[in-house]
Amino acid sequence: MAATIKNKIKNIRELKNYTQEYMAERLGVTQAGYSKIEKGKTSLSYEKLVDIGKILDVTVEDIISFDYDKYFSNFNNNKITGNNNGSILINADNSSVLKELYEDKIQLLEKLLNRTENELQRYKIKFGEI
């Protein structure tokens, strides 16, 4: 596996705030097994790359073409300024990038909230609090 692919997978995973444990669980492998993918210590089939892309909600092409430096260069070039009332003004050309990041964060938080609520429900049933 090319070194750049493993780094791109890791960078996208981290941008999504996904843990290796989460990725491993979704792929049906151990955390150590998933770690080997990101370290390039195991071969990565196209099918596994497709599966990783589905979990990260990106295509294989997105993974291959992902440029971390360019992404953050564009992100950092957003003209974000504070005004007197504490609100933030964003350059309209780059607002879609921020909107997408916030939407991803909201979706992740909703998933985590649902997972936590489900676990709480299971514990209540298990320990007879319902």
**Residues 58 and 91 both lie in one domain:** no
Taking residue 4's Cβ as centre, other Cβ atoms within 10 Å add up to: 14
Same domain, 98 and 118: yes
pLDDT, tens digit, for every residue of 25-78? 999 999 999 999 999 898 889 999 999 999 999 988 888 888 766 666 555 554
Q: Map tokens 């790359």 to a residue.
A: 49
**How many other C-beta atoms lie within 10 A of the C-beta of residue 70?**
10
Are 57 and 89 in the same domain?
Answer: no
Among 43, 66, 89, which residue terminates a domain? 66
Domain of residue 49, CATH code: 1.10.260.40
Whole-model pTM: value is: 0.54
Give the whole-angstrom CA distance, residue 63 versus residue 9: 7
Task: Judge if 61 and 83 occupy the same domain.
Answer: no
Same domain, 104 and 118: yes
Number of domains in the chain: 2
Other CB atoms within 10 Å distance of the CB of residue 41: 11
| pLDDT, tens digit, 9 for 90 and up, residues 66-124 | 876 666 655 555 444 444 444 344 444 555 666 777 777 788 888 888 888 998 888 88
Longest Cα–Cα distance of the chain, Å, equals 54
Same domain, 62 and 73: no
Residue-number span of the structural domain to which 46 is assigned:
3-66
